[in-house]
Structure 1
Amino acid sequence: MRISAIQMNQGSDKAANLDQARRLIEAALDADRPHLVTLPETWTNLGGGREARSAAAEVLPPPGSGEAGGPAYEMLRDIARSAKIHVHGGSIIEQGPEKFFNTTLVFDPSGAEVARYRKIHLFDITGPDGTGYRESALYGGGSEIVTFRAGDVTFGCTICYDMRFPEQYLALRRAGAEVIFVPSNFTLMTGKDHWEVLLRARAIETQCWIVAAASHGSYEERGAMRQVYGHSLIADPWGHVVAKASDGTGWATARIDAAVTARVRRDMPVLEHRRLM
């Protein structure tokens, strides 16, 4: 199975973000013919404050209902159906009853929604440069791990800051995950030190493929400019980075090889050896 991780430079204009995402996906499909594509975290909006997030937010139809959704929901479904691929929609802003949710949607080649995951760990930190981030001020957190099947492979869903919590990745491995997604808007200041090492660590300890589509570049937030790190990558279960996107928009494509997964798990059966947790 070939997977392409799309790297975007989205901003606060939702329509422009949808157009950019579609163009990049179409380019990746033409160049690499992936069976599955994945987008970054909140690819429909980055920056612009509460009003921009409200404008980008969508009320999602009930899972399994087949009802129509908003523009981003329908675009993801249309790409999956027309290209006959699985589409992992990174995450979009879901309009909840009180707060937003940072939500992943996955569609199969028929256009059916097969997974929905709400980000569990919210980004409430102060960065090395003193910049504060308080995701919980606008977003509610999820509480359930989510997996789905595509072909003969089981995939697990996480989002960005989740990667700092290895217990979530262990839970996904125990639930059968062989590939774990990490769509992200990773800050430049933390990304340059932690991005790759954390993703490779999650791959090594779970013996899963890690697929991390990321946002790249600058965006405006309440009058200040912020930067996200990019460097979308795919790592194998041994922790090798087998594909990485360059700076700027683009994508990284790699072939997920089940034989590699099986060999790593057979030769070093860490899940069987685990004595704690």
Structure 2
Amino acid sequence: MRISAIQMNPGADKAQNIAQARDLIQGALTEGRPRIVALPEMWTCLGGDRPTKFAAAETLPPEGSKETGGEAYEFLREVARSNSIHVHGGSIAERAGDRLYNTTVVFDPDGTEIARYRKIHLFDIVTPDGLGYRESATFGAGDRVVTFQAHGVTCGLSICYDIRFPELFLKLRQAGAEIIFLPAAFTVPTGRDHWEVLLQARAIETQSWIVAPACWGRHLDASGEPRMTFGRTLIADPWGIVTARVPDGTGWITARADAIVTDRIRRDMPVLAHRKLA
């Protein structure tokens, strides 16, 4: 199954971000001919102050309903429907009362929402360069492990900081996942040292394809100070080999997630059957 992962440089202007996503997706569709397109984390609004984040957030329709959603939701739905592909919507800010959630939505080729995942692990740290991040000040945490089906393949959902918690990925593998999506907006210091090695580790442990669309470049935080995201969108195979990678800048990659490769690796090294703990 051919999958395209998009690398974006979003800021706080939602309309500009949607226009950027549209152009990049069209390029990926034209050159890569994917059956699934995946966007990065918080691509609709990265940075900005709390009112800006709430203004860009969307109240999502009830799961399983046919109700109309917000601008980003309907954009993702239309991309799926008009191109007869699955669309993994990276993550967007979901408004739920006075809280936001960092939420993934997935659409099938008919434009029907088939999966919704709220980020479980929130990024509350100080990075090596001294910058502080407190995602929980604005966002609530999810509590569900989520998979979906695409062309007969089980796919698992995760977001960014989730990558540091292998127990989530074990649960996704136990739920049958063969492909795991991880949209991200990794910081430069953590990305430079940990991004690729963590993605490879999760691929090796779960013997799954890892698809990691990422934000790249500069945006402004709530106080107007510049923040940098690492980028390096990549796709890794179940042996941990990086099969495609986007360098610095915006762009996309397309790779074929081959079920034959997955089956062979899992057959020859049946680590799930050998597991003694958990």
* Superposed pair shares fold, TM > 0.5: yes
SS in 1 for 2:10: coil
* Cα offsets for 1:202-231 (capped at 9, x unmatched): 000000000000000011111211100000
- Determine the structure 2 residue equivalent to 1:264: 265
Letter of the 1:162 partner, please give it: D
- Determine the structure 1 residue equivalent to 2:74: 74
RMSD: 0.5
- Determine the structure 2 residue equivalent to 1:136: 136
- Determine the structure 2 residue equivalent to 1:253: 254
Q: Quick one: distance in 2 between partners of 1:244 and 1:234?
A: 7
SS in 1 for 2:235: strand
Q: Quick one: distance in 1 between partners of 2:224 and 2:83?
A: 39
Identity of aligned residues (%): 64
Deviating above 3 A after TM superposition, structure 1's stretches of 4 or more consecutive aligned residues are none
Shift of 1:154: 0.4
Q: Quick one: distance in 2 between partners of 1:216 and 1:204?
A: 25
Q: Quick one: distance in 2 between partners of 1:188 and 1:55?
A: 27
TM-score scaled to structure 2, two decimals? 0.99
SS in 1 for 2:149: strand
- Determine the structure 1 residue equivalent to 2:277: 276
Q: Quick one: distance in 1 between partners of 2:253 and 2:52?
A: 29
Q: Give 1:127-166 correspondences, 5 Å limit.
A: 127-166=127-166
* Cα offsets for 1:30-72 (capped at 9, x unmatched): 0111000000001000111112211110000001111000000
SS in 1 for 2:238: coil
Q: Quick one: distance in 1 between partners of 2:194 and 2:49?
A: 26
- Determine the structure 1 residue equivalent to 2:168: 168
Q: Quick one: distance in 1 between partners of 2:152 and 2:68?
A: 28
- Determine the structure 2 residue equivalent to 1:238: 239
How many residues matched?
277
Q: Give 1:1-277 correspondences, 5 Å limit.
A: 1-221=1-221, 222-277=223-278
SS in 2 for 1:5: strand
Q: Quick one: distance in 1 between partners of 2:51 and 2:40?
A: 21
SS in 2 for 1:54: helix
SS in 2 for 1:25: helix
Shift of 1:112: 0.3
Structure 2 residues not aligned, in runs of 5+: none
Structure 1 residues not aligned, in runs of 5+: none
Shift of 1:97: 1.6
Letter of the 1:228 partner, please give it: T
Shift of 1:98: 2.5
Q: Quick one: distance in 2 between partners of 1:61 and 1:105?
A: 11
SS in 2 for 1:203: helix
SS in 2 for 1:210: strand
